[in-house]
Chains A and B, each alone.
Chain A
Amino acid sequence: MATLHFLANPARFRRFSQRVLPALSAVTALALAVGLYLALVQSPPDYQQGETVRIMFVHVPSAWLAMAGYALLAALGAALLVWRHPLAALMARAAAPVGAVFAAVCLLTGALWGRPMWGTYWVWDARLTSMLLLFFLYLGHIALSRAYDDPERGDRAAAILALVGAINLPVIKFSVDWWNTLHQPASVMKLGGPSIHPAILTPLLVMALALLLLYVTLVLLRTETEIDRRRLDAAELAA
């Protein structure tokens, strides 16, 4: 909690992120290289899906990050509305488009995977529909935060949307358990442990770590930019 408080100051945060970003970028590139090698070259095909299973190594981490990213938006929204954290609004602005891209990647790779395996690009089942809703919630957040002349009003409105939209997160996660769907139930995060063989699970987890690092790198970098932009706006107003 103390570190969070320390980093709530935008200037201090900026100094911190500038110090960690070079090393973080290097680790991200390395993790992505290792992850892609394991996923595309080293891992075996699946017994029933064959080589198509490799789409999972991008599809599943993208889904996780899109959901975790929205949970972050909701947490930042609460930090802004309740504690008036000065950094929360800037970070939410920085994080929303990154999360939206991961949601889009999840939907697109899912469609490309669905066509050969299920026989269709898209169906309106509970899992696919709730994931599409998550993507639209991201777009709504991006639009709403930029809809007002006064950026702080936009931040406030977007924060409320982030909190309301967070209700969709458990719906996405449990949609495959609550209702019958075309999408299969959870393979990794479920009771009784993952039902993926280690030879396929390991590359999946390495790719998830690599894309998480990519997400953090992009959000830190974009938050820096948002801090600079807010400062420039303030300087322009003062001049």
Chain B
Amino acid sequence: MMPRKMTPKRKRLWLVVGSVCVLGAAAALVLTALSDNIVFFYSPTQVAEKKPGPERRFRLGGLVEEGSVKKDGQEVRFTITDLQKTMPVVYRGLLPDLFREGQGVIAEGTLGADGTFLAREVLAKHDENYMPPEVAKALKESGRWQEGGGKK
């Protein structure tokens, strides 16, 4: 083909490639700038750094610490940990089926004056591993099980 004949096509190609690159870069900049608002929850370590005020609602996420769940009627007390820092949580209401010790959870609420997180809602976060129950049992028996291993 003659190179002259290719020109308009090539021009359009570069225009499309160029526009998509520029828009992609713009989107990347916006998302980077907003990344603090895009995160869905804060870990206990992040909360300790930020020290949100008593009026500020936010979400706290992490693992339910082993042996920390205490139920008293409708009130549940437990500790959320990111394996570095922990934070006590108090919650009244129904818990999702997957809620248990060692499970990843996200609680929404406010920070009380005594440093306890007053949760209004508790969601369970499951990991990306799927397996039949027998396999999970075998893994636990052989000691190759990592509770919360896949979670952030």
Contacts and interface: CB of A to CB of B under 8 A. Distances in A.
A184 B125 contact: yes
Contacts of A53: 130
B130 A180 contact: no
Interface residues on B, range: 35 or more
Interface stretch (A1-9, A62-70, A76-84, A86-94): A76-84
Nearest to A200: B130
Interface in A168-203: 171, 178-182, 184-187, 190, 195-197, 199-201
B135 A197 contact: yes
Nearest to B137: A47
A45 B124 contact: no
Given A82-B9, A117-B98, A180-B40, A195 B150 contact: yes
A123 B124 CA distance: 12
B24 interface: yes
B40 A118 contact: no
State the majority secondary structure of interface residues on A: loop
Contacts of A123: 40, 123
A220 B121 CA distance: 47
Given A196-B130, A200-B132, 15 more contacts: A44-B134, A47-B137, A48-B136, A49-B130, A56-B130, A163-B16, A167-B23, A171-B27, A178-B38, A179-B40, A180-B39, A184-B128, A185-B128, A190-B128, A195-B150
B12 A81 contact: yes
A228 interface: no
Nearest to B31: A171
B126 interface: yes
A126 B31 CA distance: 11
Interface residues of A, number: 41
Interface in B101-152: 106, 121-137, 150-152
A164 B23 CA distance: 7
A26 to B, nearest CB: 32
B41 interface: yes
